[in-house]
Structure 1
Amino acid sequence: MKKITFFIASLMSFLGGIGQSSNFSYDDYFYYKNNLFLKTPYVLITAAMEKSKAGDTTTAIKLLNEAATKGVYDTTLFTFYPETRFITKTAHWQSISQKIAHNRAIYGDPHNMQIITSDLNNFWVVFDKKDQPGIEQLIFKDYLMKGTPGLRTFFDMRMNSSVTKIIAFMHSHKKYLQSIRPVTQNLDRFKPLIITAANKLEALYPPAIFPPTTFSIGIFSAFGTTDGGAGSLIGAEFLCDTNTVVKDELNGWQASAKSDTSQLLGIIVHELIHIEQQTKSPENLLGKCIIEGSADFISQLVLGFNINGTHAHIYGNSHEKELWENFKKQMNGTKYNDWLYNGQSAPPGVPADLGYYMGFKICEAYYNKATDKKQAVKEMLTIQDFQKFLDQSGYGQ
């Protein structure tokens, strides 16, 4: 596979020539189709899945080995998918699992936690050139490919790998982005507070790890995520100064989802807790809500607040019995949109994401019943049976 430096124009030419057999190269096509130029753990693993499905386990093993060298800290990235699970039965697994264990050890000290803001500087350089010819190439070369693994993972996982969408966002939200620019350029001041919060989390849960937290500017697709295995990824476009923010370019959901920096530690700790979670993969609404609710609940223990603790809890506490009765009817199903990730479809007057609140209340009940509080936190982070956890909490009984 060719090494890539900058390729948008040549890629378009290449794709246009796919129909001409003399120009077609499967290796090039596979390379571009799977975004391998991003060189993040997740794209390497997904490419390995494709190779495995095609019966090319030799290349799949090479890709998985490469992914392990990129800072992967969780073996489930390899074992979750049937197409890559074969690696655990090969002689390569010992080496790969040792690399992952080494990465976890590196991330075990909260004092060494990386808080990365360099992608923000690169964003503003290209933002100032958004009206120039060739902006597509500039964004790709000077923002994405010059950026950190966290940004490239965010681009892959939450920006649909689309430079076009970034350009459209720059133009449709240019006044808003200018108004939040000073906030994004001053996020380094939060590094000591983030490290302090990480230390508190370690005191509460000693096995905790602390991979990098990367701030970048996306397209209003995620305030925070740990998807992709590159640590905590924070969308700084959600952060503003309430006194200077320009809101007339925002839709209703964006206006409600933006946040001032008083909530910053809440989102970072919430995402850190998702990293710590070693629960069974949830199969229904109950499991999903407990996973989200436990991240909020443990954030509350660490910080004294959580990111969903204002409107949702005010509403939830005044409608708790009604919410529980409705939740019980749906909790064993896989329909989530009444309870989770429904910021753009919640009924008028009802806060979005009330599943976080229900999960929080279940975890709160479990914690309050526990004699050993630190053990209760550990059990919360390692749930293997969500129904049993609910039953043991006593919530709703």
Structure 2
Amino acid sequence: MRFSTSLKTFLSRSALAAVALLPLQAFAQSATAFLSAPQDSVTLRMAETRYKHSFKVSEAGQEKLVRISPTSRGNTMWLNLGKDSLAITYKGRDKERYTLSNGKDTVQLVFSFFSPPAHEPLVKKGTEEYGKQQYALAADFYQQALKATPTGAHTRTTYYNLACCYALLGQKEPALKALEQAVKAGYKNVAHLKRDSDLDILRKEKGYLQLVNKLEKTQAQLGDPFKAQLVTTDVHNFWKAYDAAAKHPAQKQEIFEKQYFGKASAGLQDYFENKIGSVELFMNNLVNKPAFFPAIRKNTLQVDAMKPAIYQSFQKMKELYPAATFPNVYFVIGRYNSAGTVSDNGLLIGIDQFSRSADVPLQELNLWERNNYNYVHNVPPLIAHELIHFIQSDRNDTTLLSNALTEGMADFIGELISGVNTNQRIHDFANPREKQIWEEFQKEMYLKRAYNWIANGNQERPDRPADLGYYMGYKICEAYYTKATDKKQAVKDILEMKDAKAFFEQSGYADKFLQANNR
């Protein structure tokens, strides 16, 4: 079975559609959270948490964070008051933006929700039925998803999962046909395919062996670090669309759909599926940053100058781990929610989040965006981080520890090959507090609590950064590497880790705290 990032993304989305302005009275009748604005004050009430907070509209130019639910960090709600709006993040959902009027009598709520693509709820249902071992029902939902959205990046994963269901039902012929369709749609992860027990019934089939042979030949071509292509066509297409939209603002969404997403590379197609989610969300981010985007233009076009540093990191990786593969690197502009990720097609870099320079205005960025906005010269270390994600082995382990090690090894080995830690800001905060953070981490490390430690931007605070799971994973990998006498073997062990708990115990990371307590 292969779980797609888009499914995880779907679970956090609202199914409400469109963009609408609602008067205060309508909102108060339809939700458990509402705002009221008598005279110069605004009051937020949350019935779920029995919480009430008031502030003055005249304070709207100030930065203010208020924590709503301190007893459960997973359900924390934050108020970020700045400029003339109150942005609210609740339970990891996308921000709901409350626009304050003159502060006398009314407040309006702007919904930025959207309807997910037609295939996503069907894929979700299929995955749920798969988890219940109802493979026939799961296969039916996957087929419906493919009919609902017959093209796009999701098809390779959906076809693959359909093949798994058929194989588990003992139906070899349709399983092979679905697997062939997955490969045709772009599925390339031959290592996962070969070890996926769902497909055991196919191992001796001629069609299966031919597919494996084809994928292995493709994989072998990725062994040369200098043959990886740096693809920038999407960035250039973005700016062409941006200029066209400036001339025809009434058609800006249609222009981006045709001139940017309509001409998307394989990398942008994957990035859209896994990170952007909808053109509406993309446009919402774009129009809310009218000063930011023109200022970053020149920085997003500097990839050519970075080539020597990028290839130097790739070469170092080949020396440390000869089995490494080097896919194409795709540079894209998204909606400021992912600086980097990977897909079967390669490394996907959201260069808008790594476009910082002294002349870029920051006033349109929220707290998390500002804190995670990086300088353009740090793009090569970011690519090194994502390269590790592309190479590392999969683990069927959803614990916090496993997720932290997945990210931590990307930071640690990425630093070995590039010389730069892409999350230095987090280390600067955490190093003097390492024992305290470790004590918090170990309470949840064997639970499915990654949401408190990784990709938890909704928990970013002025006095505590998000993503501290990266730090803990890094420190455990660092301890293992430091302890090892054979450093190249240590890198191999980290990348090919199969048992997160056993690896942690072998690292000896916790020992230093035990020794400190015994002094």
What is the aligned length? Answer: 367
Unaligned runs of 5+ in 2: 1-117, 119-142, 512-519
* Cα displacement string for residues 300-342 of structure 1 (whole angstroms, at most 9, x for unaligned residues): 211222101x222122221111111221111111112332111
Counterpart of 1:11? none
Question: 172, 177, 185: which one pairs with 2:301?
Answer: 185
Which digits, 9 at most, give the CA deviation of each residue in 1:165-199, with x for residues without a partner?
Answer: 22222211232111101111222221222111100
Alpha-carbon separation, structure 2, partners of 1:286 and 1:29:
36
* C-alpha contact 2:356 2:375 (8 A) present in aligned 1: yes
Structure with higher Rg: it is 2
Q: Cα distance, 1:46 vs. partner?
A: 1.2
Matched with 2:369 is 254
Distance 1:80 1:149 in 2: 26
Alpha-carbon distance in structure 2 between the residues aligned to 1:127 and 1:185: 14
Q: Does 1:364 align with 2:481?
A: no
Q: How does 1:1-397 map to 2 (within 5 A)?
A: 33-34=148-149, 36-38=150-152, 40=153, 42-49=154-161, 61-69=176-184, 72-75=187-190, 78=193, 88=203, 90-130=205-245, 131-160=248-277, 162-226=278-342, 228-308=343-423, 310-397=424-511
The whole-number CA distance in structure 2 between the counterparts of 1:387 and 1:146 is 44
CA contact (8 A) 1:217 1:236 kept: yes
Which amino acid in structure 1 is aligned with residue 349 of structure 2?
A: I
Q: CA deviation at 1:32?
A: 6.5
- Per the normalisation by structure 1, the TM-score is 0.84
> Quick one: distance in 2 between partners of 1:60 and 1:338?
38
**CA separation of 1:181/1:86 partners in 2, compared to 1, >3 Å: closer, same or farther?**
farther
Distance 1:202 1:140, change over 3 A: same
Query: Aligned partners of 1:298, 1:64: CA distance in 2, in Å?
Result: 33
Q: Is the 8 A contact 1:224 1:271 kept in 2?
A: yes
* Change in CA separation of 1:347 and 1:104 when aligned onto 2, cut-off 3 Å: same
Determine the C-alpha separation between the residues in 2 that align with 1:339 and 1:29.
35
Q: Give, as a single letter, the amino acid of the residue that structure 1 aligns with 2:279.
A: V
The secondary structure found in structure 2 opposite 1:332 is coil
Match of 1:20 in 2: none
Partner SS state of residue 287, structure 2: helix
Instruction: Give the C-alpha shift of residue 367 in structure 1.
Output: 0.8
Aligned in 2, Cα 1:97/1:189: closer, same or farther, shift over 3 Å? same
What is the aligned-residue RMSD (CA, Å)? 2.8
Separation in 1, partners of 2:288, 2:492:
45
Residues 343 and 89 of structure 1: CA distance in aligned 2, closer, same or farther (over 3 Å): farther
- Whole-angstrom CA distance in 1 between matches of 2:426 and 2:190: 34
Kept in 1: contact 2:330–2:348 (CA 8 A):
yes
Q: C-alpha separation between the residues in 2 aligned to 1:84 and 1:247?
A: 50
SS at match of 2:416: helix
Task: Give 3-state SS (helix, strand or coil) of 2:223's partner.
Answer: coil
Paired residue secondary structure (1:380): helix
8 Å contact from structure 2 (residues 189, 344) kept in 1? yes
- Cα separation, 2, equivalents of 1:81 and 1:159: 29
How far apart, CA to CA, are the structure 1 residues paired with 2:206 and 2:346? 28
CA apart distance, 1:209: 0.2
Contact 2:405–2:476 (Cα < 8 Å) also in 1: yes
Question: In the alignment, is the contact (CA less than 8 A) between 2:156 and 2:185 conserved in 1?
Answer: no
Question: In the alignment, which residue of structure 1 is the partner of 2:5?
Answer: none
Match of 1:7 in 2: none
Tell me, in whole angstroms, the C-alpha distance in 2 between the residues paired with 1:369 and 1:83.
Answer: 37
- Alignment check: 8 A CA contact 2:367 2:460 kept: no
Per the alignment, in what secondary structure is the counterpart of residue 384 of structure 1?
A: coil
343-352 vs 116-125, which moves further: 343-352
What fraction of aligned residue pairs are identical, expressed as a percent? 33
Q: Name the SS for the 1:151 alignment partner.
A: helix
Which structure has greater strand proportion? Answer: 2
Structure 2 vs 1, CA of residues 84 and 155 (structure 1 numbering), >3 Å: closer, same or farther?
A: farther
Going from structure 1 to structure 2, the CA distance change for 1:330 and 1:89 (only over 3 Å counts) comes to farther
> Structure 1: which amino acid aligns with 2:243?
D
Q: Using the TM superposition, give the Cα deviation of residue 29 of structure 1 relative to its aligned residue in structure 2, in angstroms.
A: 7.9
Determine helix, strand or coil for the equivalent of 2:410: helix
Deviates more, 1:136-145 or 1:59-68: 59-68
SS state at 1:333 partner: coil
Length-normalised TM-score, structure 2: 0.65
What is the rounded CA distance, in whole Å, between the counterparts of 1:363 and 1:357 in structure 2? 10
Shift of 1:133: 4.5
Q: Name the aligned partner's letter for residue 476 of structure 2.
A: I
Corresponding residue for 2:15?
none
Q: Whose relative contact order is higher, 1 or 2, with alpha carbons under 8 Å and at least 6 apart? A: 1
Q: Distance in 2 between matches of 1:179 and 1:60?
A: 51
What is the CA-CA distance between 1:386 and the residue it aligns to? 1.2
Counterpart of 2:448, as a letter, is: T
Question: Does the 8 A contact of 2:163 with 2:176 survive in 1?
Answer: no
Distance 1:302 1:315 in 2: 23
AA of the residue aligned to 1:209: T
SS of the aligned residue for 2:451 comes to coil
Gaps of 5+ in 1: 1-14, 16-27
C-alpha displacement at 1:274, in angstroms?
0.8
